[in-house]
Each structure stands twice: as C-alpha cells, then as structure tokens.
Structure 1
Amino acid sequence: MNKDVFKGIVDICQTHAERLNWSMQHLADKQPYTAASLSELTEMELAVFDQFIVRFSKLQDVMGAKLLPAVIELTHEEGELTTFIDKLNRLEKIGALDSVEQWLKLREMRNQFAHDYPDDPEIQSALLNKAFGMAGQLLRCLEHVVLFAAKYQ
C-alpha cells in the first residue's frame, strides 16, 4: 500500500471524526434526549444533529470500506480473507481492532440511521441517546486503528 494513499484515507477519516466531535460538543448540553426535548430544538440545532448523523455514518463507512482493508494490505496479512467478517476477525487477531463484536454494533448503529422515524420522536430520541455513546466508541476505534497502522508505515 502506498503511504500517500493510506494517509489520504486516514485524513478523510480524521475530517469526519473532527466534524463528528464538533457536533457532539454542540449538542452535549441537550442530553439525554427525549421526545419533548427534540420537539424544542431550533433549526440550527436540528442541522447540528444532521451533521452528527451524517459524520457518524460517513466515518463508519469509510473505516469499513477503505481504512480497515488498507490496514490488512499494509500489514501484508496472508491467507484467505474473502469475506468482510474474515477481515474483521483477522484485524482483531493482530490487534488492529479491539473487538469484532463492537465493530458490528457500530455498523448496526449506522444502519439504523438509514431508517428515518420522523413521526416517532420516542424512537428518534432513544436512537440519538444510544448513538452518542457509540460515537465515542467509534472515535476511539479510529484512534486505535491509526496508532496500530503507524507501526507498519
């Protein structure tokens, strides 16, 4: 793997991470979210929530589609890694990923964002409360993967 290509992938991830962090800081005082509190958000606060959802989703997507496969390539891992779960298991085994189970939960959270529940503020608030806790996990996962990969550059 070309170091510049890998750095480009990391830079994209870090941009998403910075914007995810920014949105979390701007919404932290609103926690925990309830159906009532969501109905009282300003247009600007709703836009920041949108930023949170988009950046969580994009970061998780880029890590899964580009960063994690790039780490496999960077470490020159051998063997039959045809499925994504095989790659995740190998990444966990070599220490690049703390937990396959955690990664799959982060992926499921990202998938839940794809379903919009505009008519159910109870579901929306529960989803956002869960996502805020998981966003910290996602950011720590990124940091761990990048630190791990640094040993191979």
Structure 2
Amino acid sequence: MTPTPELLAMQQIHAVCLGHVEALTDALQDMQTRALNPEEYANLSKADRRLVDQFAYRYTRLQDDLGARLIPAVLNALGEDVRSMSAVDRFGRLEQLGWLPSADQWLALRQVRNQFAHEYPDSSVERFERLQMATEAARQLLSIVELFNQKIQAI
C-alpha cells in the first residue's frame, strides 16, 4: 500500500521530533548527573550554561513542534479536518482518540513551557524552580512522545 501524502508528512515531522527527543534525553541525563543546586544555578559555569541552554532549546522545540506541527499532521493522517479546529480542539480530539492522556495535561505542560521560556524572574531561586518544573514537564512530554511513537507505528 502506498503511503498517503498526509502520512508521509506526519512521518517527516515525527522524525524531526525524534531528533529533539534524543537531544533532550541526553540533556536531561546530563543535568541529572550534574545535579545543579540553586546557588550553582545563580552562577553557572560556561559548561553548565551550555547544558541548560541545550535543555531549554530542545524542550521548547519539542513542545512547539509537537503542538504546531505533529499534532495537526497526525490528525490529518487520521482523516480529520483540522483547518477549522482550534489548538484546544485538536488536543481534545487527540485525547478522544487515545493519543493524548489528557488535553488539560497538555495545556498545563504548555503553561510551564511558556513560563520557563518567556518569563525571566529576577530571583535566581525562582529561575531555578522554573528549571525544576520544566525538567519535570520535559519528562512528561517524553512520555507523551512515547505514546505517539506507539500509535504512529500502529498506523
């Protein structure tokens, strides 16, 4: 059977996301090994800054590419018309189809991502807390990607 253009587009975007997953997983492992504390986070070394930057970049790119590219591509490949769907409707539809554990969880993860990526508190302690929240959100995001991987293989 010849794959449809929608299926090929989904596979291509999925491959991009898997590249982010690999780099994000490496960054999370390195961050766990390094185990920064709030004082160290306030005065990052060059190597630690690069590690945090790598994490931040891959975390935000993965969530952005999943939400803006892969989710619509999955729905298109499944024969859904996403042109008139809002993002919230897309998340809800994927929850109904068993692709997302919870649309509300996705929105909460998006909020953590936005706070981490776009808000810059003066307090290094608060910045460190946001990093901790983002690392937990990244782990949850990776589990969502694993569910997508299983579903995509089944198509």
Same fold (TM over 0.5): yes
1:17 aligns with 2:21: yes
**1:83 pairs with 78, 81, 86, which one?**
86
Report if the CA contact (8 A) 1:33-1:126 is conserved: no
1:17-70 deviation line (CA, Å, top 9, x unaligned):
111111111110343642x12134311111110110111000000000111111
3-state SS of paired residue (2:126): helix
1:65 corresponds in structure 2 to: 68
**2:131 pairs with 128, 131, 138, which one?**
128
**Could you tell me which amino acid in structure 1 is paired with residue 32 of structure 2?**
A
- Which ranges of structure 2 fall in alignment gaps of 5 or more residues? none
- Which ranges of structure 1 fall in alignment gaps of 5 or more residues? none
Deviates more, 1:39-48 or 1:71-80: 71-80
Report if the CA contact (8 A) 2:41-2:124 is conserved: yes
Pair 85,97 (structure 1): closer, same or farther in 2 beyond 3 Å:
same
Pair 19,51 (structure 1): closer, same or farther in 2 beyond 3 Å:
same
1:95 corresponds in structure 2 to: 98
Deviation (angstroms), 1:80: 8.6
2:47 corresponds in structure 1 to: 44
Q: TM-score, normalised by structure 2?
A: 0.88
Deviation (angstroms), 1:82: 2.1
RMSD: 1.9
Give distance in 2, aligned partners of 1:4 and 1:142.
Answer: 18
1:104 aligns with 2:107: yes
Report if the CA contact (8 A) 1:33-1:129 is conserved: no
Pair 99,30 (structure 1): closer, same or farther in 2 beyond 3 Å:
same
Report if the CA contact (8 A) 1:38-1:121 is conserved: yes
**Could you tell me which amino acid in structure 2 is paired with residue 95 of structure 1?**
G
Deviation (angstroms), 1:7: 1.6
**Could you tell me which amino acid in structure 2 is paired with residue 22 of structure 1?**
D
Report if the CA contact (8 A) 1:16-1:58 is conserved: yes
Give distance in 2, aligned partners of 1:27 and 1:78.
Answer: 40
Give distance in 2, aligned partners of 1:134 and 1:55.
Answer: 13
